[in-house]
């Protein structure tokens, strides 16, 4: 896992863009034209990744599933048998919580939405997410604890082994399908929903998408989002990772 993570971070932007800048500096005397090309590509790529307007327009290609409206929440019990929340990492050893691991802000966004769906529909919840480099508790356990403590919602099942979206789907199927549950509401980020729905359908589920956290909407930034922001670099990285992941899943699974 560490090796795969290292390679992934190195080959995907912004990692590869920083590499181009390093190469540009290294070749500045021996290959000035190649150096200039690497510099333009590296700096230009970082600039594009930092623009909110680029994030907004790129996200629209991935955010193909429509949001549920509040009028549909109570009707979910007629369309599905359970709600599945996909993990989104953890914050390690947060001092504000006695050095206990906590769900990330992205995970909390999913959990908040899933809690409202569960309260409105009465559907049971499954949290899905494994360990961090083999260290407990699992993401599924962290989410279950937070859902109970912060949102007053109990989790019925915890899938605690998965490390990828594909494993989220397969391992959730191992828990739910023997119980006769084949229709699920999947809660995840809007830009992650295409790959999530594809994975869960391949695992044998009928999926009701419940996307949250849309990035492809008006960013309400001055000058139409053409000024660089540090947050946009992270968001662009997530979108690029998702696009590569979606392509890879369809090629290899």
Given a contact cutoff of 8 angstroms between Cβ atoms, the answer to whether 192 and 198 are in contact is no
* N- to C-terminal Cα separation, the chain: 19
Over range 45-61, report the average pLDDT: 96
3-state secondary structure of 165: helix
What is the tens place of the pLDDT at every residue in 186-228?
999 999 999 999 999 999 999 999 999 999 988 777 888 999 9
| Confidence at residue 63, expressed as pLDDT on a 0 to 100 scale | 98
Gap between the Cα atoms of 253 and 248, Å rounded? 8
| Confidence at residue 2, expressed as pLDDT on a 0 to 100 scale | 66
This prediction has a pTM of 0.94
Gap between the Cα atoms of 144 and 139, Å rounded? 8
């Amino acid at each position: 896992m560490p090796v795969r993570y290292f390679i992934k971070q190195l080959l995907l932007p912004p990692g590869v863009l920083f590499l181009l800048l390093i190469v540009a500096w290294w070749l500045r005397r021996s290959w000035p034209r190649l150096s200039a090309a690497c510099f333009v590509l590296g700096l230009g790529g970082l600039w594009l990744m930092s623009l909110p307007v680029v994030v907004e327009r790129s996200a629209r290609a991935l955010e193909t599933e429509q949001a549920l409206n509040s009028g549909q929440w109570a009707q979910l019990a007629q369309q599905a048998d359970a709600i599945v929340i996909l993990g989104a990492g953890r914050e390690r050893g947060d001092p504000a919580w006695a050095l206990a691991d906590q769900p990330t802000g992205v995970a909390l966004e999913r959990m908040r939405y899933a809690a409202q769906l569960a309260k409105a529909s009465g559907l049971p919840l499954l949290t899905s997410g494994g360990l961090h480099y083999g260290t407990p508790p699992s993401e599924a356990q962290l989410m279950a604890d937070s859902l109970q403590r912060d949102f007053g919602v109990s989790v019925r099942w915890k899938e605690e082994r998965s490390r990828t979206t594909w494993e989220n789907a397969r391992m959730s199927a191992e828990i739910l399908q023997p119980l006769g549950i084949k229709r699920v509401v999947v809660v995840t980020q809007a830009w992650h929903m295409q790959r999530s729905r594809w994975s869960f359908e391949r695992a044998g589920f009928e999926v009701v998408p419940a996307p949250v956290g849309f990035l492809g909407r008006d960013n309400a930034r001055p000058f139409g989002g053409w000024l660089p922001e540090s947050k946009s670099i992270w968001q662009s990285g997530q979108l690029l990772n998702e696009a590569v992941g979606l392509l890879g899943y369809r090629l290899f699974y």
